[in-house]
Structure 1
Amino acid sequence: MFRRKWSGLPKDPHFPVDMKELGYFINEDDEVRAIDNPNNYFKFFLNRNPRWNERQRFAMNMAIQGVIWERLEKLGMKKELLPLGTEDTTKPHVPIFVSKDIASASRVVVIFGETHQDLGVLAHRVIGGQGGVNKGSMVSIVSALQQQSCSSTDMSPPGIILANTAELIWWPEGTRTLARVAFDGVPMKSAVHNGNLITDANLVEGNENTMRHISYMFKHVIPHFVDDAATIDIIGVGDGADCVEKYLDLLTKQDEWKNRIKCLALVGGLVPAYELQNEEFVKVILRNRARAYATSTEPVGMVLSGPDGNPKTRTFTEQGCPVFSSGSDHYTELTLIMARDIVLDWLQEVAMTPEGEEYLNPEYHVTFADPFLDECESDWGEWPTEASAGGGEKNELREVKAQEAGVENEPKELGEDKAVAGQPRLILVERPKALRARNSSMEDGEGEN
């Protein structure tokens, strides 16, 4: 009888958490390049076995994060551990970054990133590719904020807090928390194990998930580090923006937060205003002191919609606040990178509102519409029946079979009426010939690759 022992399973691959040992360096353009060929960026597909690729990526991401954290600390950011008061780093804790002079700041910017990005990271596709480490990380955001002023009467830079909405899974062997994707890359008992099991031992008290972490930030972290008279600016990115918006929908029912939150930037968020429960939050904060920056093919800064939405664009705009193009056409993780200047400039505009006055979004009369929207067949409801839609897939299949058999289709197969300009109609030209060619090649023994 065949018997395989646990010791006979292939060992999990090991990669050093060191950029130089992995074969990479950071060039003068702040981009990660290969040592053996400086023209090459990071190579993910190192092996046909996906486990080898995942383990290398885990080591590389940890090495890059070490570089980012070092740069944040040089900018005056200090790493703090949650729950507050944690001193033993071998016990479960979640790291965040807080500016050293935050206690004296009259204005504080709190940033909630995406729930799958490592602390300090905006987009690895920029960090490990064209753009570089600073541009693809929070280093560029912190640097820009430090050039701003707290208010028209306080020219000192604002305080900054970087929340950690992703790295909430405790890894005992590494004495740190990880994001869900990163946790899949930690060492396993063998290279063929199904993954690492998450139990209660992998949870951090008070920060068990993203919503609890956001709650802990508002209930404990901000009151602990920030002066009670300081104003709060909030930036949310991607699904981190969705989570913080849903939490603020409940939090702003408390009077103490209504006036402290001066502005809310939802970068890549997608929460519909009609799903929110607090009418005052929607009509006061969202409408007057919030802006959304959406993925769009339009140039960065283009006004896509006012607070009531824009039915003439395919971009989702029913967010209860003015919606702008972020300049990123597809990737949510690039929204804050592309829209950094307009987002931070708006925060500064709100902060410079004269003392005693309340900032209000201007009235937007948006005439923007997607190009060629009226010419596109966007309303499929105009085709209520199979006949008016040209028969759909059934007629297409009948056409193919008929033409393969050498029988011409009767006009009624595509609809008894003649084609009318602007009316949809199925016309197959090349497909039967292609099918015959494919069938012929398969008969000759030339199968598909």
Structure 2
Amino acid sequence: MFRRIKPIEHREEVDFPADFKKLGYFINSQDQIRQIEKPSEGFEYYVHRVERVNEKRREAMDECIRRVLDARFVEEGLTKHFLPPGSDPASDPCVPILISNDLDDVEKVLVVIGNTYDDLGVWSVREMEGLGVNHGSMISTIQTAKKEKFGFAILNCGQNVYSPEMGRAVTYRSWKAATKPSPHIDEVKNRVPGHENVQKHVNSVLEELKGRLIGKKKKKIYFLTYGWGCWGLVKYMNVNFAEWKSSIEAIIAVESTHTAADVISSDLRHFLTTRGRAYIVHSDPPGTFIPDKRFICQTFSTAQIYSETIIPNAWKDVMLPWFKRVEEDPEGCNPVMLVDWESVERLKEEWGGYSAKPKDTIDPNKWAFDDEEYSDENNDHDREQKLKEGGTVFGEEGLEDMVDLRDAEQAAKANRALQENERPRTVTGDGLKEMGVGKAAPSA
């Protein structure tokens, strides 16, 4: 038996102004969020023993950031569009997305689909305290892509709760901070029709933009997706890929939640294998090939420990260059990527169910992991015959057979590596991010 000695204390709600200065912060000359009293330190969350106070204060900071980003998106030539079409954001449940003003005039479009817990246009608030507000938001993504003459359509998977009191769609974190703890979401009152979840949002936006992207003026479309955003795209493309496939150039999936089982369309499966790439949290240097077939497409490391920091840190030097490569050589943009030597040995043993068997219709220098076993009698006979003739079998080729040599700089480095009797392992820090060339381990 327990008896309450002291009645529950009912605290008054504390509100904070959405003003950097009043909150004790400013944006310095390096575009970083810093404390006024401690200019070397960023945002401090735990300032009060009551969690609700910290939560409300963080929401005020987030609102400050949203206002800064809204102004910067306008400066970059992007405008908010509210869906469903014809909605009045002051009174109607609606979700904002960002579209570049030159969308109808450009030849290339970058469609960005983020995760389900971020504000519109935000990658990582953590990075805003590090390399700056632009770096942690999609502003830096937009600025570098504009140099390659991209137009933009930025979806909004995060702000999926509509607040009549605030008159706008918000993230769940903002919704929770603005209302009482453990707030109830009314699935009718607090949802936007056609945008109730990530899958419906992606479907509604792409259907709305379809006429402008793949209509009479077809464009080259590149998808940059993150987390659940990629899952929503896969679900949509399973049904609609036939309409879009002639226009889509490439897809990047960052820490996606989709798996091979989600990809039902055979055409989409083939497209992801040939012109899709996944980037994941991994300790290896950015661009190192990882033998991971969860996503169907080839998978690469990012040297990041937080999924939210992957795109801010890998976009300019890893992802955007690959998009450019797709444009130059769409049929050969995903060549064989070398793995570390130990992984090759595990592949030969069919570790984890992987097999290095090439399909008959595929160029052996452009391989993909296959679910089939490399053990039938005909294949074993062919393998033995090739070895007797002094040749090599697939999966046991030398470096010269595995490295993509189209670029002169890569070819020179590969030739030098071969002359020095090097063999493949994880990538080194000298720029061989797509070659996996490194010095051989010393023999035992």
TM over 0.5: yes
TM-aligned CA distance change 1:84 to 1:369, over 3 Å: farther
Counterparts of 1:356-371 in structure 2 under 5 Å? Answer: 358-364=330-336, 366-368=338-340
**Paired amino acid for 1:179:** T
Counterparts of 1:276-287 in structure 2 under 5 Å? Answer: 276-283=263-270, 285-287=271-273
Q: What percent of counterpart residues are identical?
A: 26
Q: RCO higher in 1 or 2 (8 Å CA, sep ≥ 6)?
A: 1
1:81 aligns with 2:68: no
Are 1:104 and 1:227, in contact at CA under 8 Å, matched by a contact in 2? no
Equivalence for 2:209: 221
**Paired amino acid for 1:16:** P
Equivalence for 1:266: 253
Which of 197, 203, 216 pairs up with 2:191?
A: 203
Are 2:73 and 2:139, in contact at CA under 8 Å, matched by a contact in 1? yes
Are 1:23 and 1:34, in contact at CA under 8 Å, matched by a contact in 2? yes
Q: Output one character per residue of 1:295-329: Cα deviation in whole Å (capped at 9) or x when no partner.
A: 1101011122xxxxx2xxxxx4432222111221x
**Paired amino acid for 1:235:** L
Are 1:110 and 1:160, in contact at CA under 8 Å, matched by a contact in 2? yes
Equivalence for 1:319: 295
Q: CA separation in 2, counterparts of 1:141 and 1:194? A: 35
Q: CA separation in 1, counterparts of 2:341 and 2:206? A: 39
Equivalence for 1:340: 315
TM-aligned CA distance change 1:237 to 1:194, over 3 Å: closer
Q: CA separation in 2, counterparts of 1:126 and 1:87? A: 33
Shift of 1:64: 0.7
Counterparts of 1:348-387 in structure 2 under 5 Å? Answer: 348-353=324-329, 358-364=330-336, 366-368=338-340
Are 1:102 and 1:226, in contact at CA under 8 Å, matched by a contact in 2? no
Q: CA separation in 2, counterparts of 1:170 and 1:274? A: 32
Are 1:25 and 1:34, in contact at CA under 8 Å, matched by a contact in 2? yes
Q: Output one character per residue of 1:17-60: Cα deviation in whole Å (capped at 9) or x when no partner.
A: 11111111000111111112212211100111100010001111
Q: Secondary structure at the match of 2:30?
A: coil
Shift of 1:135: 0.7
Equivalence for 1:136: 136
Please give the TM-score of this superposition, normalised by the length of structure 2. Answer: 0.72
Bigger-Rg structure (1/2) = 1
Gaps of 5+ in 2: 352-444
TM-aligned CA distance change 1:369 to 1:319, over 3 Å: farther
TM-aligned CA distance change 1:230 to 1:224, over 3 Å: closer
Counterparts of 1:150-161 in structure 2 under 5 Å? Answer: 157-161=149-153
**Paired amino acid for 2:340:** F
Single out whichever of 165-174 and 86-95 deviates more from structure 2: 86-95
Q: Output one character per residue of 1:114-168: Cα deviation in whole Å (capped at 9) or x when no partner.
A: 11111111011111x21110110000000011000xxxxxxxx121011001101
Please give the TM-score of this superposition, normalised by the length of structure 1. Answer: 0.71
Q: Secondary structure at the match of 2:130?
A: coil
Equivalence for 2:158: 166
Equivalence for 1:107: 108
Are 2:115 and 2:157, in contact at CA under 8 Å, matched by a contact in 1? yes
Are 2:100 and 2:152, in contact at CA under 8 Å, matched by a contact in 1? yes
Equivalence for 1:94: 95
Are 2:221 and 2:250, in contact at CA under 8 Å, matched by a contact in 1? yes
TM-aligned CA distance change 1:137 to 1:67, over 3 Å: same
Q: CA separation in 2, counterparts of 1:277 and 1:22? A: 50
1:232 aligns with 2:233: no
Are 1:211 and 1:247, in contact at CA under 8 Å, matched by a contact in 2? yes
Are 2:89 and 2:167, in contact at CA under 8 Å, matched by a contact in 1? no
Q: Secondary structure at the match of 1:135?
A: helix
Q: CA separation in 2, counterparts of 1:88 and 1:5? A: 43
Q: Secondary structure at the match of 2:141?
A: helix
Q: Secondary structure at the match of 1:9?
A: coil
Are 1:109 and 1:235, in contact at CA under 8 Å, matched by a contact in 2? yes
Shift of 1:270: 4.3
Q: Secondary structure at the match of 1:200?
A: coil
Are 2:289 and 2:339, in contact at CA under 8 Å, matched by a contact in 1? no
CA RMSD of aligned residues (A): 2.6
Are 2:108 and 2:222, in contact at CA under 8 Å, matched by a contact in 1? yes
Shift of 1:278: 1.3
Q: CA separation in 2, counterparts of 1:145 and 1:327? A: 22
Are 2:326 and 2:333, in contact at CA under 8 Å, matched by a contact in 1? no
Q: CA separation in 2, counterparts of 1:42 and 1:15? A: 15
Equivalence for 2:41: 40
**Paired amino acid for 1:26:** I
Equivalence for 2:411: none
